[in-house]
């Protein structure tokens, strides 16, 4: 009787970092996280696993707080990342260890994230232009072509409903027989995908709806046989990319004398204006945040910055003759 060859086979242990990262990223995708976000988390976690592998650490249970502190030092001192970037990467790492704890691989006592040294950096506050100035920019957009009509409708909707680019690009054309999940309804109610895959809603006014009607009248010019039911289409009949929206914003912003303008500042201006008017509940509705304190912390700070700038400019203590 022939003796069969015996070949040992590797078995993945519970807590294997590489396997755990794959499961965590799949978990984020299943929860509706944006593809760009998942890709960014993957890059950050690949750095972490590579760093730990260089110290012969392959199981999540063997990672300690000093190991993670060393990883942060390597990011800043070795890789040359700014403290802000290292802090962002560390948030993804913390998410991985929370995921491990939820799977019973870690306890509160041996979770290395609990004793991490905070990363100190100066918070950067971006102050959006005045809402009226942005609205004037949108109004001035040329709309003598189908593309012009589309662009004007895009940025009017983003400004009016305080949408992120990702929320805008996930919308489909409204149909009464089978309304899509993310769309603009004839009533002006806007439903969109928020961070974390949540469905949130906002509102747009009659002028925005009129611009959307003009766009929908010319939208068939962009349709192809395989075009998606997207609310907005590119010239190729596909959903526009994030890069395309940002490039358009840069072009129109430069034409309006705001060369540093980017699409997210439209959202900041709309929500910040609501905070300045003293209606935090409305601002929270526009922002789509779970907690009102989040809206107050982010956009309340911006509102104070704008008020200080306006005070210095329009009401200086020394009057100009």
Q: Is residue 42 part of a domain?
A: yes
The crossing angle, in degrees rounded to 10, of helices 17-30 and 83-102 is: 90
Domain shared by 39 and 86, yes or no: yes
Whether 85 and 234 share a structural domain: no
CATH code of the domain covering residue 23: 1.10.150
State pTM to two decimals: 0.64
For residue 199, give the CATH number of its domain: 1.10.443.10
Tell me what pLDDT residue 121 has: 58
Residue 10: its pLDDT value, please?
Answer: 83
* Total domains, the chain: 2
CA distances from 276 to 244, 297, 302 (A): 31, 13, 10
Q: Of 268, 261, 253, 254, which is closest to residue 301 (Cα–Cα)?
A: 268
pLDDT for 45 equals 95
Identify whether 37 is part of a domain.
Answer: yes
Residues 138 and 254 grouped into a single domain: yes
124 within some domain: no
DSSP letter (8 states) at residue 78: I
Enclosing domain of residue 74: 17-115
Q: What is the pLDDT of residue 17?
A: 94
Element (H, E) at 203: strand 199-203
State how far the Cα of 297 lies from the Cα of 294, in Å rounded to an integer: 5
Assess whether 107 and 136 both reside in one domain: no
Q: Flag whether 105 is in a domain.
A: yes
Residues 267, 201: one domain? yes
Are 72 and 145 contained in the same domain? no
Per-residue model confidence as pLDDT tens for the chain (321 residues) = 677 888 888 888 889 999 999 999 999 998 888 888 889 999 999 999 999 999 999 999 999 999 999 998 999 888 888 888 888 898 889 999 999 999 999 988 889 988 887 777 555 555 667 888 899 999 999 999 999 999 999 999 999 988 889 899 999 999 999 999 999 999 999 998 887 778 888 889 999 999 999 999 999 999 999 999 999 999 999 999 999 999 999 999 999 999 888 888 888 888 777 777 666 677 777 777 666 666 666 555 555 555 555 555 555 665 555
The verdict on 217 and 262 lying in the same domain is yes
Neighbours of 281 (CB within 10 A): 10
């Amino acid at each position: 009787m022939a003796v069969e060859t015996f070949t040992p086979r590797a078995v993945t242990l519970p807590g294997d970092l590489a396997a755990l990262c794959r499961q965590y990223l799949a978990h984020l995708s299943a929860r509706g996280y944006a593809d760009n976000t998942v890709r960014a988390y993957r890059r950050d976690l690949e750095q972490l696993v590579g760093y730990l592998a260089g110290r012969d650490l392959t199981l999540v249970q063997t990672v300690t707080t000093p190991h993670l502190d060393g990883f942060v030092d390597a990011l800043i001192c070795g890789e040359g990342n700014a403290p802000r970037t290292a802090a962002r990467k560390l948030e993804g790492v913390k998410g991985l260890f929370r995921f491990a704890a939820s799977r019973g691989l870690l306890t509160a006592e041996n979770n290395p994230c609990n004793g991490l040294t905070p990363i100190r950096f100066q918070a950067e506050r971006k102050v959006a232009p005045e809402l009226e100035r942005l609205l004037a920019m949108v109004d001035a957009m040329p709309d003598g072509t189908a593309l012009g009509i589309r662009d004007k409708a895009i940025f009017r909707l983003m400004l009016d409903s305080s949408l992120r680019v990702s929320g805008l690009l996930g919308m489909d054309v409204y149909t009464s027989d089978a309304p899509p999940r993310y769309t603009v309804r004839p009533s002006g109610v806007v439903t969109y995908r928020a961070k974390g895959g949540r469905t949130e809603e906002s509102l747009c006014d009659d002028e925005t709806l009129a611009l959307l009607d003009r766009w929908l009248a010319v939208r068939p010019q962009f349709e192809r046989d395989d075009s998606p039911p997207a609310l907005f289409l590119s010239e190729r009949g596909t959903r526009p990319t994030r890069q395309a929206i940002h490039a358009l914003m840069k072009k129109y912003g430069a034409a309006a004398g705001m060369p540093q303008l980017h699409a997210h500042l439209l959202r900041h201006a709309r929500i910040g204006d609501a905070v300045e008017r003293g209606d935090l509940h409305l601002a929270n509705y526009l922002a789509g945040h779970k907690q009102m304190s989040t809206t107050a912390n982010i956009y309340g700070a911006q509102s104070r910055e704008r008020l200080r700038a306006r005070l210095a400019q329009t009401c200086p203590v020394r009057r100009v003759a």
